[in-house]
Amino acid sequence: MGHSGNARFFDTTQHAPMESQLFNTTIQNCPNVTTLDERIQILIDSITIATYNNISRGLFERDKLIFSFMLCIEILKQMNQITMNEWLYFLLGIPNNNIIINTKQQLEQPIHTKNWLNIKQWKRIIDLSQYFPEQFHTLPNDICNYSIIIDFNPIMKQLPREQEENKEEELGIYRLTPKDYKNTLPLSNYNEKLTSFQKLLLISTFYEDQTIKVIRDFIYYNLGKEFIETPSCHLSILYKEMDSMTPLIFILSNGSDPMNQFQKFIKEFNYIERVHIVSLGQGQGPKAEKLIHEACKLGDWVFLQNCHLAASWMIRLEEIVKQLAENPKSTHTDFRLYLSSMPSKSFPISVLQNSVKVTNEPPKGLKANLIRALNDISMESFNTHGMFTMLGVCSIYI
């Protein structure tokens, strides 16, 4: 438990200073079980997914997979499943000053492999075999004598060979030697003897252009599908993590606007009359400060839009948020502060660190976008819209 918890905390603190409140809340919300082993496993799983959700939803889509990968790597390092040499090799390749290449081992590429292995791939195969001889010293010869198939899914071991071939794409199976090249060759034992990270090294050696896909499969196998999907960012969920001292920050991207989502939420929350919205810009700082001061007493909400346009006022915003944290008893418990900003160097780091953060850009993939679109539709809309009633009647006769 200690190693796993430390790995999650260590990786979290590298990306954003994480308050112990996240861990305390997660532990308190975990269900009680009868055995210690079950309790430890539940805590490990809950802390891991809470860490991922908390940070990932504040990252842009292009950065989420990198964070998942780094979290996975740090956990496996703590479990001694990845060595430092393996990690550095993945990042930097073979260190020229640390290894002497034996010219006798510079095997000439077999002619019959040149139609499916280019010179660059062959060089990487030689590098891998020389830098990690314990696992790969026979690799240059094995590609001619064995059928090399690698996957991250243990289901593969239970399937007959013909089923493996039919389900390769579905199961994330990587065939490193082509089907049409001596298809009767025996299977190699790389899939059984390698760790998941060593498999990643091997696959990326053959197919460098598929590294992103391999990383996704690697994360899926080690952590689960939740860590390659966009976490739910509905305001009703984020609101539960806020309080009168903890603002929510919408991190904007070009063309994004959280206002529609926010207005829908305050309508569902029945708080429309108690929300004050200010679009920051020149001269709007004093007005915003006055609204915050009044809302703190009454328990109203304040939404300050476009903080990046009020760079000179950000120092004052930092002081206001600090005062909220230092004097919780002087603030109404219903008060909430919402902020939106493009990424900006002028935005106070302390406010960013002590806030609930969410990006406001469309997620990648059809499934994620459908979920996001459907989450924005209330059950009331489904039940009252005439078209849905018509579809419901039609379904009776289908």
- Can you tell me which residue has the tokens 């990786």? 11
Q: What does the DSSP assignment read for 313-374? A: GHHHHHHHHHHHHH-GGGS-TT-EEEEEE-S-TTS-HHHHHTSEEEE-SPPSSHHHHHHHHH
What share of the chain has pLDDT > 70, as a percent? Answer: 78
Return the bridge partners of 341, or none.
251
Q: How far is CA 105 from CA 134, 137, 138, 190, in A?
A: 15, 10, 11, 21
Q: 3-state DSSP call for residue 249?
A: strand
Return the bridge partners of 243, or none.
246
Task: Give the model confidence (pLDDT) of 299-308 as tens digits.
Answer: 999 999 999 9
Q: How far apart are CA 390 and CA 392, in angstroms?
A: 5
Tell me the chain's radius of gyration from C-alpha atoms.
Answer: 27
Rounded to two decimals, the pTM is: 0.80
Task: Give the model confidence (pLDDT) of 206-227 as tens digits.
Answer: 999 999 999 999 999 999 999 9
Q: How far apart are CA 232 and CA 53, in angstroms?
A: 8
Query: Do residues 56 and 68 touch, judged by C-beta distance below 8 A?
Result: yes
Query: Do residues 173 and 164 touch, judged by C-beta distance below 8 A?
Result: yes
- 310 or 1: which carries more pLDDT confidence? 310
Q: How far apart are CA 375 and CA 250, in angstroms?
A: 18
What share of the chain has pLDDT > 90, as a percent? Answer: 55
* Lowest-confidence segment of 187-201, 300-314, 322-336, 383-397 by average pLDDT: 383-397
- Please name which of 154, 124, 152, 153 lies closest in space to residue 139, comparing C-alpha atoms: 124
Question: Could you report how far apart the first and last alpha carbons of the chain are, in Å?
Answer: 53
- 98 or 360: which carries more pLDDT confidence? 360
Q: How far apart are CA 197 and CA 203, in angstroms?
A: 10
Question: What domains appear along the chain, each with residue ranges and CATH number?
Answer: 2-80 (1.10.8), 84-95+105-222 (no CATH), 235-376 (3.40.50.300)
User: What are the two backbone dihedrals, phi and then psi, of residue 183, each rounded to the nearest 5 degrees?
Assistant: -60, -15
**What's the token pair of residue 259?**
């206002």
